[in-house]
Amino acid sequence: MSEQRNVPCGLCRYQHKRHDLSCEFGQYFPINRLREIESASKFFGMANLLRLMRGAEPSQRQVMANSILREAQMWANDPIHGALGHILTLSSHIKSVGRELKLVNAMLAHCSHQATPQIATTVQVRVLL
Ligand SMILES: [Zn+2]
């Protein structure tokens, strides 16, 4: 634990602050996520990031930190649409895979009807969407 206190967290490193026992959120923003922290500060502002973290219950702070960093990455990857662009991409992918699944099930049904009754089996691939 004390060894971890000597390693600056990503927030302190980014803000050029000394990481010490007064660091509020260092445990949620490790140094190996510095690039994501830079994005989060760019897109949301450090004051807003800290305000969001202070507003979260301590038990939810890791989830909040991960959410902030993840959304910042989405904005970095798609500055026009941000998280919505990511959601639309995933939605499009789900629809595409659903169409493919429908086709595979139709092909399986066709093959089942073509097979002899001794070896015919009913196979259907299902995915919960
Ligand atoms: Zn720190």
Task: Note whether residue 88 is domain-resident.
Answer: no
Task: Note whether residue 9 is domain-resident.
Answer: yes
Task: Note whether residue 129 is domain-resident.
Answer: no
Task: Note whether residue 61 is domain-resident.
Answer: yes
Model confidence over 58-74: pLDDT tens digits? Answer: 999 999 999 999 999 99
User: pTM for this structure?
Assistant: 0.69
Say if CB 36 and CB 43 are below 8 A apart. no
Q: Calculate how far, in angstroms, residue 28's C-alpha sits from the geometric centre of ligand 1.
A: 9
Q: Calculate how far, in angstroms, residue 51's C-alpha sits from the geometric centre of ligand 1.
A: 16
**Residues around the ion ligand 1 (C-beta < 5 A):** 9, 12, 19, 23, 26
Q: What is the span of the domain harbouring residue 8?
A: 2-77
Task: Note whether residue 113 is domain-resident.
Answer: no
Model confidence over 7-30: pLDDT tens digits? Answer: 899 999 999 999 999 999 999 999
Task: Note whether residue 103 is domain-resident.
Answer: no
Task: Note whether residue 101 is domain-resident.
Answer: no
Q: Calculate how far, in angstroms, residue 83's C-alpha sits from the geometric centre of ligand 1.
A: 27
* Structural domain count of the chain: 1
